[in-house]
Amino acid sequence: MATGKTYDLTIFGATGFTGKLILDEVIKTAPKAFPGQTIRIAIAGRSRERLEKILAGLPTVDGANRIQPDIIVADTQDEESMRAMCRVSKTVIAAAGPFRFLGEAVVSACIQEGASYVDITGEPEFFERMALNYHEKAKEAQVAIVHVCGFDSIPADMGVLYTKQQLERQHNALPSTIEMFFKLHVAGNAGFCGHFATYESAVHGFGSAGLLRQLRKTANRPQIPKIGPLLVVNPKPHWVSKVAAYTVPFFFADPSVIRLSQQLVIQDKDLHASQSPPVQFSAYICIPSFKALAMTILASTAFGLLAKYEAGRRFLLKHPRLFTLGTFSHEGPTKQQLAETSFSETFYAQGYSKELRDKHPSPEELRRVQPDVSLVTSVSGPEPGYVATPKMVVQAAYALLQQKEKIPNGVLTPAVAFARTTLIDRLQEQGIVFSTVVKN
C-alpha cells in the first residue's frame, strides 16, 4: 500500500497499556480491512528491549495475511528520531501520553515529514493548542492531524454529526439543540476499572484548565451562532426522568471537542462544505443512585481542587485508588471487567422544519419560536476505554489510509475530518452502534 513510505501504519507508544491493545486490534482487523493487499506495520517507542518483548509475545499466525510488525526506536526528547519515524510512516497512531508533555513532538514531526496522524488524547488544552499552533502548517504540508479518536471523543463528536445528519435527511430540519447523556453500564459484580495511564492524562487535563482558558483568549475563535431559543445547561446535580438517572455536567473532553469542531468549520472556509449548520450542545453524565452521586461529587471536588496545583497533582498521581474510590489502578481492568462493561450516549435533538422556517425566515424570528421537530439518537458500544477506544482509533487510521481524498488537511477533530468518509459504517461493523431511537 505505501507509496514513498516504508510503513502504512506506525503505532507510537505501542508498549503502553492501550498501545498494546491498539496493536492487537490492528493485527486482528487489518487483513479484512485490506483484502489482497500487503499492509506494513511498525511499532515505535523509546525502548527497543520493550518493543522486542511486545513482538515476542504476539501470536504466531501463518498464511499470506500474516502481519509481522517492524521496530522503530523513537523518543520525544530526540527530534531527529521522531522525524525519522514519521519520514517512513504514512499514518501514525499516537498512543503515548500524557499528551500535554509528549504529543507536540509527534505532531510536529508528522507535519514536517508528511505523515498523517490520529491519537487517543482526551486533554483539551493539548488538542486546542495544537489546532492553534499547527492547523495552517498541516494544511501547507497536506496532512491531516486528527485528535481525540478514542472514547474521547468519537462517540460524542461523530454522534452529534450523525444526529444533525438524521435531522436533515429524515425531516429536512435545521438543527437547533442537542443534549447528550452518557451512561456507563456494568453488568456483573466485578465493577468498572481504569488504567493509571488514563488517570494520569485526566490529572494533567484538569491541571491545565487555567492554561486552557488563557489559550482560548489567545485563539480568539468565533462565537458559535445560536439557532432558536437558548439551550440552558443545568450546572447542578439533578434527576432527569427521561434517562432515569441523576445527572451532572459532563466534565471530560467531549464538550470542548464539539465546540472546537464547530469553530473550525466557521473559521476555516475550506471546511464549510463538510459540515452541517452549528448547533447548541450540552452534555451530562448519568449516575444511577443518590449514593453514587454523592461519592462522585466528593471525589470530583477533591480531584478538581488538587489538580490545580503541582503538589496536588503529584499527590493525585501517587494515590490513584484513593481519589477515584478504587476505580483506577496501575494494574488496570481485568478481562471480566472489560467484558461486563459497556457504554451508551443518547442525543436528544430539536430542530426546525422547512415549513416553520418558511414562516420565520430570519434567525431573530426563530429565536422567538420553539422547534417543531425532535429526534433521539444513540451511540453505544463495548467497554469504552480499552475495548472501544482501540477499535475507534484503528478504524480512524484505516479511513486516513483508504479515504484520504475525502479528508481535509489541517489539525482536526473527528467530525470535521471524517464527515465525508465511511467511518460510521466502519464503526458499526466493529460493534459501535449509531442508531435513531425516536423520531417525531
Residue type, 77: Q
Q: pTM of the full predicted structure?
A: 0.94
> Measuring CA to CA, how many Å separate 45 from each of 377, 386, 391?
40, 20, 21
Confidence bin at 347 (pLDDT 50/70/90)? very high
pLDDT of residue 163: 96
pLDDT score of 247 more than 70: yes
Cis peptide before 153 (omega within 30 of 0): yes
Computed over every residue of the chain, the mean pLDDT equals: 93
Considering only residues 320 and 147, tell me which one the structure prediction assigns the higher pLDDT.
Answer: 147
CA distances from 20 to 93, 117, 148, 154, 200 (A): 12, 18, 18, 20, 18
The grid coordinates listed for 127 are 488538542
Q: Which residues, at least 6 apart from 312, have a Cβ–Cβ distance to it below 8 Å?
A: 305, 306
pLDDT at 273: 64
| pLDDT at residue 1 greater than cutoff 60 | no
Q: Tell me the pLDDT tens digit for each residue of 231-244.
A: 999 999 999 999 99
Q: Which amino acid is at 340?
A: E
Greater model confidence, 405 or 277: 405
Query: Measured between alpha carbons, how far apart are the two ends of the chain, in Å?
Result: 46
| pLDDT tens readout for residues 39-66 | 999 999 999 999 999 999 887 655 545 7
Residue 237, C-alpha cell as written in the block: 446535580
pLDDT tens-digit readout, 267-285: 888 887 666 789 999 999 9
Query: Has residue 92 got a pLDDT over 60?
Result: yes
Q: Would you call 421 helix, strand, or coil by DSSP?
A: coil
Which of 52, 340, 48 is closest to 185 using CA atoms? 340
Using only C-alpha atoms, the chain has a radius of gyration, in whole angstroms, of 22
Of 415, 422, 384, nearest to 401 (Cα)?
A: 422
At 59 the pLDDT is 75
Residue 189 predicted with pLDDT over 90: no
Encode 161-229 in three state secondary structure.
HHHHHHHHHHHCCEEEEEEEEEEEEECCCCCCCEEHHHHHHHHHHHHCHHHHHHHHHHHCCCCCCCCCC
Q: Say which residues have a Cβ less than 8 Å from residue 50's Cβ, sequence separation at least 6.
A: 15
Starting at the earlier edge strand, list the strands of the sheet with 238-240: 238-240, 245-249, 280-287, 174-186, 341-352, 373-382, 433-439
* DSSP state letters, 51-107: HHHHHHTSPP--STT----EEEE--TT-HHHHHHHHHTEEEEEE--S-HHHHHHHHH
Contact 434, 379 (CB under 8 A): yes
> How many other C-beta atoms lie within 10 A of the C-beta of residue 297?
14
33-47, 69-83, 180-194, 296-310: least confidently modelled range: 296-310
pLDDT of residue 143: 97
In percent, how much of the chain has pLDDT > 90? 78
Q: Using one digit for the tens of pLDDT, what is the confidence trace for 139-155?
A: 999 999 999 999 999 99
pLDDT at 16: 94
Q: Are 360 and 369 in contact (CB under 8 A)?
A: yes
Q: Per-residue pLDDT tens for 358-398?
A: 999 888 899 999 999 999 999 999 999 999 999 999 999 99
Give me the mean pLDDT over the 24-49 stretch. 94
Q: Which residues pair with 172 in a beta bridge?
A: none
So what's the pLDDT on residue 412?
A: 97
Confidence of residue 2 (pLDDT cuts 50, 70, 90): very low
pLDDT at residue 60, as a whole number: 67
Please list, in sequence order, all residues whose beta carbon lies within 8 angstroms of the beta carbon of residue 1, skipping any fewer than 6 positions away. Answer: 8, 34, 37, 38, 39, 40, 90, 401
- How wide is the angle at C-alpha 137 spanned by C-alphas 131 and 143, nearest 5°? 90
Residue percentage of the chain with pLDDT more than 70: 96
